Amino acid sequence: MGQVGGTKAKRSRPGRAAKAECSCNETSIAAEITMLLNTLRELAAIRSTAEDAAARILDSAEGLLTLADKEEAKKAEEAILSIMTACGFDDLVGQRVTKITETLDRVIATRLTGEEPARTPTTMLVKPQSEITLEGPGLPGANQDQARIDALFREKN
């Protein structure tokens, strides 16, 4: 026969376990945020390194173009210009890093507050009363070749 009135409930294991689990979650969230912040620092370092590398390559290429013997420089011109345009990697690295950084910022904000923040990324600019959305550089193979662009331009409006 069951007791009437019941007994005062003991402080049960599930409560203590829940508190331990909550503390564990907080620790793992803090560790996760630390990891994400370190990742952001790494990304900033990538961008900085890429910029430095591009500048040094351009310094050398510009130096080659100003060779005193212009005949020799002319022969190498195509190769030098190819080196220079390849330095555009710095720009694209920077844009991709920006996209990643914004995603990580949102993840960090979500983990800190528990809510998904309003999405206001700078590389996806949605202007009021505009249908333009920007995505920055596409992924490899994402159909961003010049020939396709040229074909669009040849189409009549």
Residues that bind other proteins (CB under 8 A): 51, 54-55, 58, 61-62, 65, 77-78, 81-82, 84-92, 94-95, 122-123, 125, 131-138, 142-146, 148-149, 152-153, 157
Identity of the residue, 2 or 138, whose beta carbon is nearer to other proteins in the bound complex = 138
- Would you give the DSSP letter of residue 156? -
How far apart, in whole angstroms, are the C-alpha atoms of residue 55 and residue 94?
14
Tell me how far, at minimum, the Cβ of 112 lies from other proteins, in Å.
Answer: 26
- The residue (of 118 and 142) whose beta carbon lies closer to other proteins is 142
In the complex with other proteins, which residue's Cβ is closer, 39 or 123? 123
Residue among 31 and 67 whose Cβ is closer to other proteins: 67
Q: How far is the CB of 128 from other proteins (least distance, A)?
A: 12
Query: Measuring CA to CA, which residue among 95, 144, 150, 149 is closest to residue 124?
Result: 95
Q: Which amino acid is at 67?
A: L
* Shortest Cβ 24–other proteins spacing (Å): 42
Q: Kindly give the interhelix angle for 13-65 and 70-86, rounded to the nearest 10 degrees.
A: 170
**Residue number with CB closer to other proteins (113 or 130):** 130
**In angstroms, what is the minimal distance from the CB of 46 to other proteins?**
14
In angstroms, the CA 142 to CA 157 distance is 24
Give least dist CB 84 to other proteins, A.
5
> Taken in order 69, 72, 78, 81, is the CA torsion positive or negative?
negative
Q: Give the span between the Cα atoms of 51 and 94, in whole angstroms.
A: 8
Select from 141, 99, 143 the least CA-distant residue to 124. 99
